[in-house]
Chains A and B, each alone.
Chain A
Amino acid sequence: MTASSPPVLLEEPPALPEDSGPGLLRRYLTRPPVIAALVVIGVLVIMAVIAPWVLHSPTALDVPDRFAPPSGAHPFGTDELGRDLLSRVAYAGRLSLGIAFGATVFAMVLGTVWGMAAAARGGWVDEVLMRIAEAGMAIPIILFALVFVAAFGADLVAMTLITGFLMSFLTARIARSAVLSELKSEYVHGLTAVGVPRMRILFGEVLPNTLPSLLAQSSLNLATSVMLEATLSFVGLGVQPPAASWGTMLQNGYSHLYESIWYPLMPALVIVLAIAALNTLGSELQVVLHRSAS
């Protein structure tokens, strides 16, 4: 791609203000879908943090009022013990979003090191590392997730690491191609020519420049981990009761579907919203980056 791009004319002023950091960020943050997605994520995160102080207590029982449909007092209705669903969904976000965040950080670190090692070393190291990553992506992620859960169990740490590890394959591939395209650029040749150590070029110059595309991938990774947590917990192989996540709420709600159809629908709605928002943040960033690159 870089090889075929036309040479920059000297008369043309470099398009720095538009294409670099602040301009790019402004263009990203002013896109309507991005704003909407940020609002959704913001609300979910804030609710998860402040739920116990502002909303009903997520553990306050009100048995006579169980399986209540949405109302003024309980905007999302109540569950099988009369607990407020809105506050439970908000509270469950702590686990769901927490696992997703941990997994994404793990995937980002592992994937970046993995991809960078492959790109920087090249040759057979690259070949082996990327074949492994491809094997990891060769089958649907849920299948591997089930195999890993069977082996390592489903406590919170294991789930976070498993999810992170499974996403690191794709992250490694993204990191590799981002690093490779940076390594081909003029400034790397320049720095190499003046004798800057390769490690310093890689970590001091190349890595910061690949961050935007890695961030875009991380946002998509967050969405994937929310989906994976919900899926595993829904089939009973993820977060274990009494701990509550969006997935376990979905599972509980589904088993009480005949008492209250709102019970499973509310966590379902929140899961879809969260994933849609995170996907939007990631793909919009990719769009902006792609435009500024071309």
Chain B
Amino acid sequence: MVGYLLRRLGASVLMIVLVSMLIFVVLRLLPGDPTITRFGQQEGIDPRTIAAMRAQLGLNDPIIVQYWHWVTGIVVHGDLGRSYFSQFAVGTLIAQRLGPTLELSVAGLFLAVVFAVVLAVLPTILRGRWWSRLVGTYTTIGLSAPPFVFGIVFVALFSVKLGWLPDRGYVSPSADLGGNLRLLVLPAVTLGLALSAPLIRYLRASLADVETSSFVRTATGKGITRSSVVFGHVLPNGLLPALTSLGVSVGAVLGGAVVVEYVFAWPGLGSLIVDSVFKRDYAVLQSTVLLLATVFVLVNLLVDILYGVLDPRLRVSGDRR
């Protein structure tokens, strides 16, 4: 077990290091100058000022040195750098946006699991062809629509047409809890629906697997009711393997939230990333993306470990792929 844990941990750390290198190198491949971000397009700036600024920001160092400063800054001092644009510490900027993103992600993920379990289990219980087809169609659409497209449809329907819910914006829950929740509904449902599609597909496959297994046949054969078979035998065994796809969903929630936040003017990390791309604010961009990447890799590690705990066979073989 310890060997398994160490192997997974090592692989995850390696992954994060590689991702950080990729982000860092890509953002410095072009000769573009971040000092331009600071000074804007102003005319007549003394070249010496720019040179001083470059030196101060460490932009004259070799790329390896710059990378080393960035990484040691994060790991040793917990310092994510400073925005080229606003001069704020990146850590502060992220801290401001973390709350809204967490709120939206947790709500979205929760709804996704609820939608997925209900929709995947319904055809199993009702055993209707049409239910199965309906859910299948829903999954195909859900897998094909970019997450934010649901958002546009919902705003068109519930805000513009029906006027039931506000279309976009954010108020902090401590200022106005009711308003916060009303504004949360549409983005959270959007994210939840988008994430539920892959979950449903995985769940249904896993339920179908269990459905044909011999112990379910035995259970049915000994004459207990259909609902006892489903709730007592099929679901407990079928839901467990779907755990892995939940790890993938957390990644999807991070990716999906980026644009869903943009659609609903939700001031989270996703909008921070989009903003920093517009402003070419590499300092903010690289640290924020790395943070999300780290969360994603760690969640997958956690799921892997959980999976190993629940299914001892994996500890031996080490790699389930």
Contacts and interface: CB of A to CB of B under 8 A. Distances in A.
A265 B152 contact: yes
B292 A151 contact: no
A272 B144 contact: yes
Nearest to B167: A257
A2 to B, nearest CB: 17
B19 A150 contact: no
B144 A223 contact: yes
Contact of B152 (A254, A275, A280): A254
A286 to B, nearest CB: 14
Contacts of A261: 156-157, 160-161
Interface stretch (B75-83, B95-103, B210-218, B256-264): B256-264
Interface residues of B, number: 52
A150 B160 contact: no
Interface in B5-34: 14-16, 18-19, 22-23, 26-30, 32
B interface: dominant SS: helix
Interface residues of A, number: 43
Nearest to A253: B152
A142 B258 contact: yes
A138 B144 contact: no
A272 B141 contact: yes
Contact of A140 (B15, B255, B285): B255
A236 B278 contact: yes
Contacts of B256: 140
Q: Which of A150, A235, A250 has the most CB of B within 10 A?
A: A150
Interface in A117-165: 131-132, 134-136, 138-144, 146-152
Interface stretch (A191-199, A203-211, A226-234): A226-234
A138 B15 contact: yes
Interface of A: 131-132, 134-136, 138-144, 146-152, 223, 227, 230-231, 234-237, 250, 253-254, 257-258, 261, 264-265, 268, 271-273, 275-276, 279-280
Interface of B: 14-16, 18-19, 22-23, 26-30, 32, 140-141, 143-146, 148-149, 152-153, 155-157, 160-161, 167, 251-252, 254-256, 258-259, 262-263, 273-274, 276-278, 280, 282, 285-286, 289, 292-293, 296-297
